[in-house]
Structure 1
Amino acid sequence: MTHERRAWRPALAVLVALALGATTTACGGDSDGSSSGKTLVMWTFKQSHVKALQQVAEGFTKETGISVKVEAYGPDDAYVTKVQAAAQTKNLPDLFEVHTNGDDLAFGAAGLLTDLAKDVDDAWLNNYLPQVRQDGGVTDEYYKKSLAQDAKTKGIQLGQRFSVPLTVGTFGIVYANKQRLADAGITAAPTTWEDFIADLEKVKAKHPANGGVTIGFKAPTTGLEWFMQPMAYGMLGPDRFHALWGKDKSSNFSSPAGAQVLETYGQVTPYWMPGTQSLDIDAADLAFAQGKSTFDIGGTFTLAFLAQNGFDAGNVVTFPVPAPAGGAVKNLSLAPFTLTGMSVSSTTKNRAGAIQWLKYLAKADVSATFAKEALDIPPTDLGADPAAAVGPALGAMIKAFGSGPSAYNPGDTSYRPNAYDGTPVASTLMDYTPLKKKSAAETGAEMTKQIDSYWTKQ
């Protein structure tokens, strides 16, 4: 599924590679876009990051004497067009904000970025959360993908690094209207699925017209991947969760375990906001921001969008999709991944200054300042009490991060068939909830049939 406020849209990688692939040899000359001397020019596709970057750049200038000029070009398509044009006219900036493991690799393959592998040492990496330290680098996985005949990252080399983390996050975050929770007598975020359903019932009773839940079902995989899957992972544990996508009918979606997952997920059915099945992700988030719903399912990236559209970030309670009380995972957490990173242009006239800027952004206090202004989660370790550094909403999301078997990792697709397409499977799930066209058993059987068809294409 695609979304501008998530990690990367593969279609853009195609556009970038096609447009830039022929420009590799043309990018070695002088660049009017990049600066010289004591000023760096940085491009970003996120308007919400401009003020935050400018704020921390003031401290960087005081420390180094180097100023940073931040320019935003959005949305994503416009950003790619801007980079295409600049590459062809040798007018690239010194620095880019990039979608990590996406346009950083495409830009790198096209020769537009500096390889940072020799610059980013262990001392630098240790500033970041362990889960995201390799992000932006060419791992074995990404190198193997680049060898495919139609790869859009052809030419990248194992061990290269084309970005370092700037913002991190994950899916499976529930947003709730704090005031409406209080109206219903709810003073703390739920920690179990049962408590969550009970809270939905209380709020709906207090606010029957707008007490429901919304999600961007027009992109069907939001319901499956952002909502049901974290709950199912907590209920079953990693092995039994992975088996839902397997070939064994005793453990896949048509099994008793699959039925249990679907029936538990179905408990949310009475609480969907009317019409949420027709909303895209932005429209669903806007419905929450405008008070048409009390709960919104999204990711860590959703908070900035809500604030941009008038919702008071101080009136939000955030918590991860919870697991059932009797689930296999007792302390369910969410594995973070890098959303956006920072890259250095291959044509910059001040490479050393650009590297200094990236290192400065990796400082915990600097990244916390950036995060508070941008309402995005930083990649650095903010200690045991992140809320003290970035506020309660972001702090609660950071506290939900984890690693290992107790962490649901949306980036792990190793258990699914290579040809798997989540959209048809998620559309079938929608027929169960919110549309109520199929029973849990019928839904499980159809999902199994679809998944089996992908296994036959292996």
Structure 2
Amino acid sequence: MRIPFARKARIVAAALATALSLTSLTACGGSSGSGDSKSLEMWTFKQSHVSALRAAAKEFKKETGISVSIEAYTPDDAYTTKIQSAAKTGDLPDLLEVNSDGGDRVLGAAGILADISADFKGDWADRIQPAVQDSGFVTELRYKNSLNKESKEHGIKKGARYSVPLTVGTFGIVYANKKMLADAGITKAPANWQEFLDALKATKAKDPKNGGLSLGLKVPATGLTWLLQPMAFAQLGQQDYEKLWSKDETKDFGSPNGVKVLSMYDQVTPYWMPGSQTLTIDQADQAFAQGKSAFDVGGTFTLAYLKQNGMNPDDVLAFGMPAPEDGAVPDLALGPLALTGVSITTSSKQPDNAKKWMEFLSQQDVATQFAKDATDLPATELGADSAKVLGPTLSALVDSFKGTPESTYDPSRGDEFRPVGYEQDDVGAVLADLSPLKQQSVEETARKIRELNQSYWKAAGQ
């Protein structure tokens, strides 16, 4: 199951840390096939990446004579177990695809991943989107956090780099069924929040059973992080948006600004797909792919999953969460996050060839083809001509990143303005009682989120 990024990183990191610590691992031995200096082995946990990586590997062999075998082990817990077992027996591959900014550092701390900071520079580094270039790198802050007794990253080295970003993504992407929109008289993406509500109303009126909005609200944080937060950022601007989580009760969720944001979120309530609060993220996406909803909220990564479930990307209209026309940021952009990266294991007998493969994957033409084949967005900065290859739906996802620093909602921010110990699922559960459950009013929701937020500040002693 795909879950909100911050929580997913914590879960994967914790699982890896526990599994690896139980086995007292040391990176030893070599990868299978390591005696062949022209053959590399790479593992991934992303089934949707396998065919794209294999296609890239064919081109890589033509260019270098080096072959790369790609194997997938899914789901995430099976991948963790596979790495754990291979590390014990010395049978790790040369390369691993890893969860960025979590799984990579845990494996680095365990001594399984090599530090490639000396090599990732120059043209190679410059190809990667600036917003995610630090992913995989142990900054001063990340190193300091690793010294905390509760950290799962004991052993990482300041200044080390344990992965290079492969894919990026963001939350707050809306997918719409083109046919259902056309049936309701809609031919283009909503330009603002009101047009989005109008489109929801139109599709629901045309098809009361299937014309609504799906989102996996069984994971409580999704409504908060994927819909309300980007909309609130656009309505209030960065400073007032961040103050919603402050200790200042004149600016928090109980303030007029907070009530305004919650009232706007509540405008979606009539349009939820029936049973949304019981659906996992995958189930909500599957429902959309099956025509049980006209709209689906997710991330850039959702498109590949829709394709896996039989939906043609050309039949989908994709756009970033629409901004309120009268808001502080009417031209909202969504900031990219590093989602997965590629790492070299310390047991690889051919790290130089492994680095050549990693650098090859970052080349613009290779990354563009990977995006098309995987229906996913690469970390490489794509050129203007990429739209001709990617097609309209993937290009729309790329376009959602385009904005100024002031107009870009960055989902990776949070530690800077939220209290230590903040739990987004708890806040999301309160929000769900407002919408879709209609069990409490906007004012009651504002008060409860305020009380919860203040309890975090108090517990943190900040």
Quickly name the TM-score band, shorter chain normalised.
over 0.9
Answer whether contact 1:226 1:297 (CA < 8 A) is retained.
yes
Structure 1 SS opposite 2:378: coil
Determine the structure 2 residue equivalent to 1:183: 183
- In the TM superposition, what is the alpha-carbon distance from 1:17 to its structure 2 partner? 2.2
Output the amino acid matched with 2:348.
T
Runs of 5+ in structure 2 lacking a partner? none
Listed one character per residue, the Cα deviations across residues 357-409 of structure 1 (whole Å, up to 9, x for unaligned) are 00100001101111111111011111345422312111111111145221111
1:3 paired to 2:2: yes
The whole-number CA distance in structure 2 between the counterparts of 1:211 and 1:235 is: 26
Contact 1:35 1:93 in 2 (8 A): no
Checking the alignment, whether the CA contact within 8 Å between 2:4 and 2:221 is kept in structure 1 is: no
Counterpart contact for 1:34–1:92, Cα < 8 Å? no
Alignment of 1:85-104 (within 5 A): 85-104=85-104
Task: Give the equivalent residue in structure 2 for 1:412.
Answer: 413
Matches within 5 A, 1:39-438: 39-384=39-384, 386-401=386-401, 402=403, 404-413=405-414, 414-438=416-440
Would the alpha carbon gap of residues 445 and 179 (structure 1) be closer, same or farther in structure 2, given more than 3 Å must change? same
Q: How far is the alpha carbon of 1:33 from its aligned partner?
A: 6.2
Partner Cα distance (1:104, 1:97) in 2:
9
Shift of residue 184 of structure 1? 1.4
Mapped to 2, the partners of 1:260 and 1:137 lie a distance apart of 39
* DSSP-derived class of the 1:9 partner: helix
Question: TM-score if structure 1 supplies the norm length?
Answer: 0.97
Tell me, in whole angstroms, the C-alpha distance in 1 between the residues paired with 2:115 and 2:197: 49
Q: Could you say if the C-alpha distance between residues 389 and 133 of structure 1 is closer, same or farther in structure 2, counting changes exceeding 3 Å?
A: farther
2-structure distance, mates of 1:257, 1:4? 28
CA gap 1:171/1:32 in 2 versus in 1, 3 angstroms? same
Flag the 1:155–1:452 CA change in 2: closer, same or farther, 3 A.
Answer: same
Q: Distance in 1 between matches of 2:173 and 2:140?
A: 30
Matched residue type, 2:71: E
* Secondary structure of the structure 2 residue equivalent to 1:456: helix
Query: TM-score if structure 2 supplies the norm length?
Result: 0.96
Alpha-carbon offset, residue 241 of structure 1: 0.5
1:308-362 deviation per Cα after TM superposition (whole angstroms, max 9, x unaligned): 1111111101111111000001311111011001001111111111000001000
Q: Is the 8 A contact 1:114 1:344 kept in 2?
A: yes
The gaps in structure 1 that reach 5 residues or longer are none
- Paired residues, number: 457
Q: What secondary structure is seen at the aligned counterpart in 2 of 1:27?
A: coil
1:307 positional shift: 0.7
Instruction: Name the CA distance, whole Å, in 2 between partners of 1:25 and 1:82.
Output: 13
1:353 and 1:207 map into 2 onto residues whose CA distance is: 56
RMSD between aligned residues: 1.6
Letter of the structure 2 residue corresponding to residue 323 of structure 1: A
- Shift in CA distance, 25/87, structure 1 to aligned 2, threshold 3 Å: closer
Q: Is the 8 A contact 2:26 2:110 kept in 1?
A: no
The 1:97–1:211 alpha-carbon spacing in structure 2 relative to 1, beyond 3 Å, is same
Contact 2:32/2:41, CA 8 A, preserved across alignment: no
Check whether the contact 2:33–2:39 (CA below 8 A) recurs between aligned residues: no
In the TM superposition, what is the alpha-carbon distance from 1:205 to its structure 2 partner? 1.5
* Cα shift readout 1:67-124 (whole Å, capped 9, x = no counterpart): 1100000000000000000000000100100001111111111111111100101321
- The verdict on how the C-alpha distance between 1:33 and 1:171 changes in structure 2, with shifts beyond 3 A counting, is farther
Query: Which residue is equivalent to 1:27?
Result: 27
190 and 310 in structure 1: CA distance in 2 versus 1, 3 angstrom threshold = same
Residue identity over aligned pairs, in percent, reads 50
Determine helix, strand or coil for the equivalent of 1:126.
Answer: helix
Q: Give the match for residue 449 of structure 1.
A: 451
Q: CA deviation at 1:25?
A: 6.6
Segment of structure 1 superposing worse, 5-14 or 186-195:
5-14
